[in-house]
Chain A
Amino acid sequence: MRNKYSVFSLIKNALSYHENWQRAWKDPAPKKEYDAVIVGGGGHGLATAYYLAKKHNMNNIAVVEKGWIGGGNTGRNTTIIRSNYLWDASAGLYDHALKIWEGLSQELNYNVMFSQRGVMNLAHNLQDVRDLKRRTHANRLNGIDAVYLSTEEVKKFCPIINTSPDIRYPVLGGTLQHRAGTARHDAVAWGYARGADAMGVDIIQNCEVKGIKRNGDSVEGIETTKGFIKTKKVGVVAAGHSSVIANMAGLRLPLESKPLQALVSEPVKPIIDTVVMSNAVHAYVSQSDKGELVIGAGTDDYVSYTQKGSHQIVEGTLNAILELYPIFSRMRMLRQWGGIVDICPDASPILSKTSIKGLYFNCGWGTGGFKATPGSGDLFAHTIANDEPHKLNAAFNLNRFVSGDLVDEHGAAAVAH
């Protein structure tokens, strides 16, 4: 029985100096067989397991994770959540996720610290202005809140931005999605893990997949560092390492894995109460609840699995940040890190069945997967349980690279990939 987190449990545990909190999830050894196994214990994988158990009554399932849960891109991203995508298919997918975010803390009984502080995207040239206006209209037609802001309105919403006309990339306007914002990334992984575990899902950490066993065209199980696990359904949610798993099954995916960097400053008092993103100069910034500025940089353009990026990428981002926010000129950076992102040719994800029966892939989220975590888990669980995609992820199948029906969000997605 899982104890509920509440003010009463907080008081009760305070009386015993917080030494007797129940474990949030168990640490089980793998069983011999499961109805389904999810490969990858990040936010998306854990959410998939949670919704498989909750909505599809699949309780005899496991999540296998080669490291610790939430230790990959879930713990490395800049936690931005928004749904202002251009194309209908993307709008449906990302706004589905945003709607779940709005009630997620209550649903999980776990504070994911979802903060709808708004996300503002800046325009720096006339083409940006046209693109952002077009996207604002497209968003509204899809029922997604979006407003276009003039330079003066940008300045009013975020006063520390330098809007003078003589900077290298002047601010000509911007868009604002009020419902967008940030969440606490670790809490998302932990909340889903706790929720899935309570419904009987085995979360098996330090368990790396070494092979996928096939019988002809169907899956029979997976070889792991903790032995063979028999299962008829394998859902792979391995982000940057998706191609590695696909190669084990003899599949090729349209992905390239590249390092993406982020960095945080020393903590300071509240200075920026929203998220500001800029496509043209490739810089985005928000402030964490601890007070650190959270800054996202770009990807290196070569395939690498090193989880570190090039110095000049960070330098370029910080140049742009300093021009837009001169007030940050004496800020010191505290930490910098990289994650491996799996990028699709059309910058849209893949949530799909494959040519192998019982093998499903949820990948290709590229540089912006965190925002979709709840929706991705929900729709991928539907796809695995029914062996058919939900209508919201039907467009995000693998076959689109054969049919040519791509969801081209390169540049259209409000930020460069």
Chain B
Amino acid sequence: MFLINCPYCGERDQQEFKAGGEAHIERPKQPTELSDDEWAEYLFMRKNIKGVQFERWNHAHGCRKWFNMVRDTSNDEIKAIYKMGEKPPAQ
């Protein structure tokens, strides 16, 4: 449980938000040409980092917009929040 500073609405309780998993997983450009291994990698394999992780979040019970977050999963400390399409901050 923590507070999240939505880039559109400001600081709100985490329960208003929905976690969307690892960020910056690129959608395959040519899905028809993907091998089974590449599909597995895209669909299922995750870094699941203990430490600083890049993630997508959705303000599900607010503005319903998606954005990115950099969070330390070992202590839930939020390092940065940036909008979709913006470049991730250097770590």
A-side residues, CB < 8 A to B, are 241, 243-244, 247, 252-257, 301-306, 309-312, 342, 345, 401-404
What are the residues of chain B within 8 A of A345 when measuring CB–CB? 43-44
Cα A404 to Cα B36 with chains together (Å): 9
Cα A304 to Cα B74 with chains together (Å): 6
What are the residues of chain A within 8 A of B45 when measuring CB–CB? 252-254, 401
CB distance from B41 to the nearest CB of A (A): 7
Q: Does B49 have its Cβ within 8 Å of any Cβ on chain A?
A: yes
Report whether A305 and B37 are in contact in the complex, using a CB–CB cutoff of 8 Å. Answer: no
Cα A311 to Cα B14 with chains together (Å): 11
Interface string of B48-66 (1 = CB under 8 A from A): 1110010100000000000
Report whether B74 and A306 are in contact in the complex, using a CB–CB cutoff of 8 Å. Answer: yes
Quick one: which of B43-91 are within 8 Å of A by CB? 43-50, 53, 55, 73-76
- Which one of B43, B44, B47, B48 has the highest number of Cβ atoms from chain A below 10 Å of its Cβ? B48
Q: What number of B residues sit within 8 Å (CB to CB) of A?
A: 25
Report whether B48 and A306 are in contact in the complex, using a CB–CB cutoff of 8 Å. Answer: no
A403's contact among B36, B50, B73, by CB below 8 Å, is which? B36
Report whether A402 and B36 are in contact in the complex, using a CB–CB cutoff of 8 Å. Answer: yes
Cα A306 to Cα B44 with chains together (Å): 23
B-side residues, CB < 8 A to A, are 1, 14-15, 18-19, 21, 36-37, 39-41, 43-50, 53, 55, 73-76
Known: A243-B48, A312-B1, A401-B45. A303 touches B18 (CB 8 A): no
CB distance from B68 to the nearest CB of A (A): 14
Report whether A302 and B55 are in contact in the complex, using a CB–CB cutoff of 8 Å. Answer: yes
In terms of DSSP, what is the predominant structure of the interface of chain B? mixed
CB distance from A392 to the nearest CB of B (A): 23
- A selection of 27 A-B contacts at a CB cut-off of 8 Å is A243-B50, A252-B46, A253-B45, A253-B48, A254-B45, A255-B46, A255-B48, A256-B48, A257-B73, A302-B19, A303-B19, A303-B21, A303-B53, A303-B55, A304-B76, A305-B50, A305-B74, A306-B73, A342-B48, A401-B40, A401-B43, A401-B44, A402-B36, A402-B37, A402-B39, A402-B40, A403-B36
Cα A247 to Cα B48 with chains together (Å): 9
What are the residues of chain B within 8 A of A254 when measuring CB–CB? 40, 44-46
What are the residues of chain B within 8 A of A310 when measuring CB–CB? 1, 14-15
What are the residues of chain B within 8 A of A306 when measuring CB–CB? 73-76
Cα A25 to Cα B72 with chains together (Å): 37
Known: A252-B41, A303-B53, A401-B40. A243 touches B46 (CB 8 A): yes
Report whether A256 and B73 are in contact in the complex, using a CB–CB cutoff of 8 Å. Answer: no
CB distance from A313 to the nearest CB of B (A): 9
CB distance from B51 to the nearest CB of A (A): 9
Cα A97 to Cα B57 with chains together (Å): 39
Return the chain A residue nearest B39 by Cβ. Answer: A402
CB distance from A317 to the nearest CB of B (A): 14
What are the residues of chain A within 8 A of B73 when measuring CB–CB? 257, 303-306
CB distance from A113 to the nearest CB of B (A): 33
CB distance from B42 to the nearest CB of A (A): 11
What are the residues of chain A within 8 A of B75 when measuring CB–CB? 306
CB distance from B69 to the nearest CB of A (A): 9
Cα A241 to Cα B75 with chains together (Å): 15
Report whether B76 and A312 are in contact in the complex, using a CB–CB cutoff of 8 Å. Answer: no
A301's contact among B1, B19, B49, by CB below 8 Å, is which? B19
What are the residues of chain B within 8 A of A303 when measuring CB–CB? 19, 21, 48-49, 53, 55, 73
Cα A372 to Cα B50 with chains together (Å): 26
